[in-house]
Amino acid sequence: MLKNKTILVHSVAALCAIFGFYLVYKISCFLYFSAKAHITVYQYAQLLWATQDMYFRFLLIINFIVKPLFIYYLVWALLTWFFDRKK
């Protein structure tokens, strides 16, 4: 794959991972807090971690680390396969 396509693939995958992170954050804030409450990502993570409940810590790790990495890898793999298939 060309260098320009590689940069494009990684850029699109990173943008999808950031968007996925934002969606997970907004949906989980909507589910756990009132719709009018504005809370930052750091405050949300700090609040979940301070609960001392393993479920909320596990939720924090899965939602904010594993899901964006999985989205990045999935988009990267699909775009790499798509561009390599065209050769």
Work out the average pLDDT over 58-71.
93
Going by pLDDT thresholds of 50, 70 and 90, the confidence category of residue 73 is very high
* Cα dist from 17 to 34, 45, 85, whole Å: 26, 18, 23
Residue 81 falls in which region: left (phi positive, over 0), alpha (psi -120 to 50) or beta: alpha
Cα atoms in the 13 Å half-sphere on the side-chain side of 22: 6
Cα atoms in the 13 Å half-sphere on the side-chain side of 41: 11
* pLDDT, tens digit (0-9, with 9 covering 90-100), for 12-49: 999 999 999 999 998 888 888 776 678 888 998 898 89
- pLDDT in the model for residue 16: 96
Domain ranges of the chain: 3-85
- pLDDT in the model for residue 1: 58
- pLDDT in the model for residue 13: 94
